[in-house]
Amino acid sequence: MRRFDPQRRDRIIEAALEVIVDLGVGRTTHRLIAERAGVPLGSMTYHFNNLEEVIWSAFEKFAARMQQSFEDRLRRAAPTGDLVRAIAPPVEGDRSQQQADALLVLELYVLAIRHPVYRRLVEQWMASTRASIERHFSTQHTEVIDALVEGFFIHRVFSGSVPSPDAIAHALQMLTKGTDPLRSISGPRAKPSSSS
Amino acid sequence: MRRFDPQRRDRIIEAALEVIVDLGVGRTTHRLIAERAGVPLGSMTYHFNNLEEVIWSAFEKFAARMQQSFEDRLRRAAPTGDLVRAIAPPVEGDRSQQQADALLVLELYVLAIRHPVYRRLVEQWMASTRASIERHFSTQHTEVIDALVEGFFIHRVFSGSVPSPDAIAHALQMLTKGTDPLRSISGPRAKPSSSS
Amino acid sequence: MRRFDPQRRDRIIEAALEVIVDLGVGRTTHRLIAERAGVPLGSMTYHFNNLEEVIWSAFEKFAARMQQSFEDRLRRAAPTGDLVRAIAPPVEGDRSQQQADALLVLELYVLAIRHPVYRRLVEQWMASTRASIERHFSTQHTEVIDALVEGFFIHRVFSGSVPSPDAIAHALQMLTKGTDPLRSISGPRAKPSSSS
Amino acid sequence: MRRFDPQRRDRIIEAALEVIVDLGVGRTTHRLIAERAGVPLGSMTYHFNNLEEVIWSAFEKFAARMQQSFEDRLRRAAPTGDLVRAIAPPVEGDRSQQQADALLVLELYVLAIRHPVYRRLVEQWMASTRASIERHFSTQHTEVIDALVEGFFIHRVFSGSVPSPDAIAHALQMLTKGTDPLRSISGPRAKPSSSS
DNA sequence: AATGAATGAGTATTCATTCAT
DNA sequence: TATGAATGAATACTCATTCAT
């Protein structure tokens, strides 16, 4: 199977993500994906049972990628103590990539409200995000931090000027003043105030 | 057979919202809306130039309704001082209504990323929301409160147990500790009035 | 009937001709005609039983106008002896008017092949044209002159440079050499060769 | 059910011509063509991008066929010297075929006035016709002969009794008396060979 | 007398999916 | 194993015509 073009399935999935970004799930068709992936139309239903399966695979891959990327950002930041900046939605990266990600996240949410399979995917992703946060911050703040990150992520899409990481860092500081928002990496490292 | 039906346009718009909730913008069709509204198919393009116009009218109405409802909640709460509870997404109301609203909000966001007209609608709505918040809370916290509300609104959709208004109130308190998050309502609770 | 706007029927007919020129019989609709005539849609089926009747009236008027115009041209030319120039399709007049006329003539021919009513209209018009020719030229040449005029009329539409009246005059001269193509206006008038 | 049908495209084009003859371009629909061609409706837009493309293909084929047929008639007649009869619109052939051809020619002219693509087709066809005539007759008469043929072609449609080939031959003789209308054929009358 | 509201039948076109090759 | 040809069901939209007012 797929002896001569082993990456074809994968290319189709990537193409599907691109089409979804461009036109939305509702306008995504076999034809458009096939064209974008550079594969014959008949190839679509050969590699996938139906269109829904293609779309599912695309979102599955997307969620995994986003999840991984968030985790990485937190992990890379931990040793440097720049955690508050790390959890804020990244500013680096071209804006169009950000819009594309937001588009996919929102379309995924919409699917998740309607279809249990997608709901499970989102719940699992959200759980993973909270776990990542909890690994670095204190438990009692996790939920709030999580909501804050989500809210900023969305609002950033619709305002040219979004809260800078610094502003977010400040919010977190306020949110956790008195208690220690950061977990485990105790001692001398503190004084995040210097970084605001 | 009825020759004159002045509310028909409105009924179509409401029907459109229902169909969008049930199936999403992408699967919303003239036929389904007409059926749900109890009007003949030909009536659709008599009252609206095209499907897009129906959908736009639906979202326009929805945004106005949501905006109004948020404003009302804040206004009603102000005198009682229960503002922190008021800004949290309402818990009362049937859960399915909440899901429906979330669905519409998310679909609207998706549209807004792609189409300038919808983007303007969302931006105007968001600005109005922030203005409402700012009318009751101190300016420096508006942005964060706004993001927090948004984040909770979304996360609530995907977790059976969402932060209670109390939890949100607590978060806000933490967030604004030291300063007075509330604007103007001075009196005995005084102290923080100095910082507003 | 039509007490307050007695020319309305006529305005509709003129508007119909304009729409037919712009879009063709096949794309002519009640709506477009009403819009162009500046009358309400309901007015169309008030003044005419159906669309076909509007179109018929339009062509009827057009044929009468063309017939009259040809007759006039011939009559005006007769005394001056410039008949050969007169029967050639007029060169004066804006080109777009010529194209419009050609369009209507051709659409009318098409209708005439299919529908007896239109066929009768065309046959009557053609008979009238031949009668006009015959009134000024000798009978034996009528048929040929008629065909020549028709052919030039059509070819002119598709070639930027069409035979000048002079060229047509020359053709007629050749066609009738030896015999006298012109009726009645005998004698001294001759030597048209000088004008070629 | 047939999975492969290589002549289908062609059958559709022929069916399209038939429908156009029967109902005119304006009333020609996918459905009618599909029905007449014996293919499913979905097949139409599989083989052609849209209805306009079907119609264009039909006229393209028709023009080529007519052009070829005229050329053949002239070529076949040349050796026998019966050229004058040859250029006259053929009388043989069933009358309904003649009407059909006239219908298509006139519809094509109408299209040509409005759409550049069709105009180019007509111009190319007319140029080819004139070239054919010029190959057999002397240059100075080409334009007139061409117009005469066109005029007779059209008038024949509307009069049961049209000029017989003999009448046309006579007209041509008159038209060219003195000069030699025919090019190149035979002996002593030679001279004009220098102009070929 | 005149018209705006309304509609059913019809239009071009799209597309997921099937399946012979 | 892979795919191009094929199609039926569905889509948005148009419009002549009807008729209550």
- Nearest residue, CB atoms, A109 vs list B106, B143, B144: B106
Do chains A and C meet with 3 or more Cβ pairs nearer than 8 Å? no
More confident site: A183 or D29: D29
Percent of chain A with pLDDT over 90: 49
Residue B156 banded pLDDT, cuts 50, 70, 90:
confident
pLDDT of residue A109: 97
pLDDT of the residue at B187: 36
Count other C-beta atoms under 10 Å from residue B181's C-beta. Answer: 22
Please give residues of chain C from 31 to 50 whose alpha-adjacent beta carbon (CB) lies under 7 Å from any atom of strand F: 31, 41-42, 44-45, 50
Q: What does the pLDDT read at residue A1?
A: 44
CB A113 within 8 A of CB A147: no
DSSP state of D194: G
Chain D residues 110-149 with CB within 8 Å of chain C:
110, 112-114, 119, 122-123, 126, 143-144, 146-149
The pLDDT value given to residue D80: 73
Question: How far is C9 from C28, CA to CA, in rounded Å?
Answer: 17
Q: At what angle do helices A51-77 and A8-23 cross, to 10 degrees?
A: 90
Residue D186 pLDDT greater than 60, yes or no: no
Q: Give D1 CA → F2 C1' in Å.
A: 21
Location of structure tokens 């309607």: A114
For residue B148, which residues of chain A lie inside 8 Å, CB to CB? Answer: 144, 147-148, 151
CB D56 within 8 A of CB D116: no
Condensed to tens digits (0 to 9), the pLDDT of residues A152-176 reads 889 988 986 666 667 777 777 776 6
**pLDDT at site C56:** 98
Q: Which residue of B has its CA nearest to A104?
A: B110
Look at residue A73 in the predicted model and tell me its pLDDT: 86
- pLDDT tens figures, B94-131: 788 889 999 999 999 999 999 999 999 999 999 999 99
- Report residue D175's pLDDT band, with 50, 70 and 90 as the boundaries: low
Cβ atoms of D37 and D15 within 8 Å: the answer is yes
DSSP string, D102-118: HHHHHHHHHHHHH-HHH
Q: Which residues of C in 30-59 have their CB below 7 Å from strand E's atoms?
A: 39-43, 45-46
**CA atoms of A17 and A66, how far apart (whole Å):** 13
Using CA atoms in the order A185, A186, A189, A193, what is the torsion angle rounded to 10 degrees?
Answer: 100
Q: Strand F and chain A: which residues 14-73 have CB closer than 7 Å?
A: 39-43, 45-46
Chain C closest-CA separation from residue D34 CA (Å): 20
Residue A9 CA to residue A16 CA, distance in Å, equals 11
| Residue pLDDT, tens place only, B166-181 | 777 777 776 665 455 4
Please give the Cα distance from A155 to D64 (Å, whole number).
Answer: 63
Residues 6 or more apart in contact with residue C94 via CB below 8 angstroms: none
- Which residues in window 41-60 of A are less than 7 A from strand E by Cβ? 41-42, 44-45, 50-52
pLDDT tens for chain C, 196 residues: list them: 445 566 889 999 999 999 999 999 999 999 999 999 999 999 999 999 999 999 999 999 999 999 999 888 888 877 776 777 777 766 666 788 889 999 999 999 999 999 999 999 999 999 999 998 888 877 877 888 888 889 988 998 898 666 666 777 777 777 665 455 454 444 343 344 433 3
Q: Quick check: B168 CB within 7 A of strand E?
A: no
Percent of chain B at pLDDT > 70 equals 79
Measured between beta carbons, which residues in chain D are less than 8 angstroms from residue C119?
Answer: 158
| Nearest alpha-carbon partner for B84 in B7, B11, B157, B171 | B171
Q: What angle do CA D179, D184, D190 make, to 5 degrees?
A: 65
State the pTM of this model. Answer: 0.85
Q: Are C44 and C30 in contact (CB under 8 A)?
A: yes
Average pLDDT, integer, range A115-143: 90
- Which of residues A111 and A136 earns the better pLDDT score? A111
Is C24 within 8 Å of chain D by CB?
yes
Q: For position D127, what pLDDT does the model report?
A: 94
Distance from A73 to chain B by nearest Cα, in Å? 20
- D159 near C CB under 8 A: yes
Nearest 10 degrees: Cα torsion D176, D182, D186, D189 = 30
Q: CA of A73: how far to CAs of A78, A98, B169, in Å?
A: 9, 16, 30
CA distances C162 to A76, C97, C154, Å, are 82, 16, 10
pLDDT for res A93: 66
Give the burial string for A141-172 (b: 16+ CB within 10 Å, else e): bbbbbbbbbbbbbbbbbbeeebbebeebbbbb
Q: Sign of the C-alpha dihedral, residues C133, C137, C138, C140?
A: negative
Q: How far is the CA of C103 from the C1' of F13 (A)?
A: 29
- Specify the DSSP class assigned to residue C26: G
Using a CB cutoff of 8 Å and minimum separation of 24, what contacts does A15-20 make? A16/A54, A16/A55, A16/A57, A16/A58, A17/A58, A17/A61, A17/A62, A17/A104, A20/A55, A20/A58, A20/A103, A20/A104, A20/A107
Contact B172, B84 (CB under 8 A): yes
**CA–CA dist A192, A174 (Å, integer):** 12
Please give the backbone phi and psi of residue B113, each rounded to the nearest 5 degrees, phi first: -70, -30
pLDDT by residue (tens digit) across A44-82?
Answer: 999 999 999 999 999 999 999 999 998 888 888 777 767
pLDDT digits (tens, 9 = 90+) for B19-77: 999 999 999 999 999 999 999 999 999 999 999 999 999 999 999 999 999 998 888 87
Chain B interface mutation, best of A29, A106, A130, highest count of B Cβ atoms under 10 Å: A106
Show Cβ contacts of residue A32 under 8 Å, excluding neighbours closer than 6 positions.
A19, A23
Instruction: Please say if the pLDDT value at position B182 is more than 80.
Output: no
Structure-token pair, residue B58: 């639906």
Element (H or E) spanning B111, and its range?
Answer: helix B95-114
DSSP secondary structure code for residue B36 in this structure: H
Is residue A30's beta carbon less than 7 angstroms from any atom in nucleic acid strand E? Answer: yes
